[in-house]
Amino acid sequence: MENQPNNPLHGIKLEQIIRELVNHYGWTVLGEKINIRCFTHDPSVKSSLAFLRRTPWAREKVESLYLKYLRDTSKR
C-alpha cells in the first residue's frame, strides 16, 4: 500500500466521513448540499454507504464536502 501523507482522506473510512457530516449538518442539510436520494429519502448510514460505494461521482461530492468541512472546522 502506498503512503499518502499529503492526502487528508488517507486512512479515513467512508462510514466515518458520513457520520461526521451527519453529526455536523444533519440529514436534511446534507441532502440540500448534496441532492442524492440516499440523503433525502429515508436516509441511513447503511443505505448511504451502499450507494456511495458504487457511485463514484456521488462519493466525490461527499468527499469534497468533507474536505470543506475539515477546512472550516480547523479555522475555528
CATH code where residue 30 lies: 1.10.720.30
* H runs (alpha helix) in the chain: 14-33, 37-40, 45-54, 56-74
pLDDT band, very low/low/confident/very high, at 8 (cuts 50, 70, 90)? confident
Q: Which residue has the higher pLDDT, 76 or 63?
A: 63
Residue 57 lies in a domain: yes
CA angle, corner 5, sides to 73 and 51, nearest 5? 65
**Other Cβ atoms closer than 10 A to 48:** 25
Q: Is the pTM of this model over 0.95?
A: no
Q: What is the pLDDT of residue 40?
A: 96
Residue 3 lies in a domain: no
Please give the residue range of the domain that contains residue 49: 15-74
What is the number of structural domains in the chain?
A: 1
- C-alpha closest to that of 18 among 41, 46, 42, 37: 46
